[in-house]
Each structure stands twice: as structure tokens, then as C-alpha cells.
Amino acid sequence: MATRVRIATRQSALALWQANYVKALLEAAHSGIEVEIIGMTTEGDRNQRASLRQIGGKGVFVKELEAAHMEGRAEIAVHSMKDVPAELPQGLEIAAICEREDPRDAFVSNDFQAIGEMPAGKRIGTSSLRRRLQLEREFPDLEYAELRGNVDTRLRKLDDGEYDAVILATAGLARLGWADRIREHLDTDICLPAAGQGAVGIECASDAADVKALLAAINHDDTSVCVRAERMISAGLGADCTLPIGAYAQLRGDEICISGFVSDIQGDNFAQGFAEGPRMDARELALDVTQQLISQGADKLISAE
């Protein structure tokens, strides 16, 4: 079994938190292991002017990390699972998924305690088309503006008065010690999370049996079941990271509940699906939700993008 593991990661504060979290888990699970963190800058980090949709979606945050271990510069890459495209490059796989943080989206504002309190015309910043289109349905009188940058950059823009509120992932705020900035956790009935939101995933070569054996010890089974079910919906729709798609699976004892939605980019047409049943049937239930979405025209919404 491998005794040295190099982690490829982005160099943002949140990405480095995640890499150090995985490092600590590996060191706790395996005595004598040597874990090194290799920080990298991705295209998503370098290009802060264009929208994510324009530069290729959230996958721009992972491609260069994948290249690092395909070229032998790292054994694993650590990602926010919501940034990982449904289809991975040949020869790579998500070998482990760590325990999930709160997957909900968070409303952050210095002036308002809840999004429902905001008067018409107030400005909300978000980089996510998924978030914007869902919130526009519920709060159509607000103004929604593009917001790029790392978590600290987005909070600074809020504090500088560029926005009246911003929408961020609860998990990122909690991990960086900014949970006190959250004014409201958005109910998943209003804003369904992205597939994998709140979970940290570890990618490695499919044939790296020794590395996969190390990672098996830090996989969180409940989280893995839910996140893999969510990702099946995105994969089943043939969707990429530029599309407004949400998927959320939740365990309730031995039962699993799975929700999904997809929209066109204008927000004029939505498809929604839901299924629940035994945890052991998570795969079939995710396929059921996917078929519900397709039966409502989700494939046409996607092909029209």
C-alpha cells in the first residue's frame, strides 16, 4: 500500500481547507503515511471577469487538478463535489466522498434577516444560474447580478456595498469560520442544491488500487450514497456544469428521498421530479427522478441550451 500521497488542490482558502481536511483524515486512518499538498491555480481562478457559463462551467475548477495526477504529479485531487462534472475523464474516478456539511444555500446580508424581507429592486449577487433561476421564481421583484470570486472576495463585495445580499453555499461559510454571516438557510423547497453540494470528493486513477485502498478508510458511506444518486441525475440528463440543474438526496433511516429539477436558461420552463424508497434502491430511484424530468421535457430544455 502506498505510504506517500500527494494532493492536487486549488489554492483558494476553501480548497486548501478541504485538502488539509483530507490530509488529516488520511493521517488519522493510516499511521506512517506521508501526505503532501500541491496547490494549483485553475482557469476558473484566473478568469474572474467572465461568467462560469462563458468559460465552460464549474468544471474549469477541476480540469487542471485532474491533469496533475494524470501526469504523475499527484496521486489524488480533492474537489468540492458540486464542481465536478457528471462525466469524468477516462481512467479517473471519485474513489471516496467525505462526510457532508450542510448542503443548503445561504442568504447573507448586512441589512436584511431573510430574503423575503428584501424590498423590490434590491440587488442579490450569485454566480450560480441554478440559484438565480429558482430564486427568481419565488422572488421575481429582486435584481440578480453576477458575482464571481472566492468566498472572501464575495463577502468583501457585499461589505463594500456592491450588493444588498449574496447567496453562497452554507458549507463553505461554515468551513471557513463565517457561519455567523448567514442570515437564513434557504429551504430546499425554494432553492434545491447542486448535486454534491457540501461534500468533498477525492479523485484518483481507476487503476491505482493501493491509493483506492487508502481512500476507502475515509469514505463516508451515507454521504456517498446520496451524492452518487444526485450525480446520476446530472449524468442521466447528459448535462454539464453550465446548466441550471439541482439534485438533492436525503437519508431518513433506511429510506432515501431524491429530488431533482432542471430549467432552461431563461427560467421560463422548469421540470421537477421526486422519488423515495429503500436506501438500497438509491440507484433505481435516481433513474426514476431522471425519467420524470425527461418526461416533462428536460431533454428538450437541455438540447435548446
Residues assigned a catalytic role: 83
DSSP-based helix, strand, coil % in the chain, nearest 5: 40, 25, 35
* CB-CB contact of 120 with 132 (8 Å): no
Q: Which residues pair with 124 in a beta bridge?
A: 144, 165
Backbone Cα Rg of the chain: 19
Q: Which three cell numbers stand for residue 59?
A: 468544471
Tell whether the torsion through CA atoms of 104, 105, 107 and 108 is positive or negative. positive
Please give the Cα distance from 166 to 54 (Å, whole number). Answer: 21
Please give the Cα distance from 23 to 7 (Å, whole number). Answer: 8
Residues 6+ apart with CB under 8 A from 7: 19, 22, 23, 35, 36, 37, 38, 74, 75, 76, 77, 78
176, amino acid identity: L
Identify the residue whose cell numbers are 450560480: 128
Please give the Cα distance from 183 to 117 (Å, whole number). Answer: 11
CA distances from 36 to 9, 27, 110, 204 (A): 11, 11, 39, 15
- Angle among Cα 226, 271, 296 to the nearest 5 degrees reads 115
Tell whether the torsion through CA atoms of 283, 285, 288 and 293 is positive or negative. negative
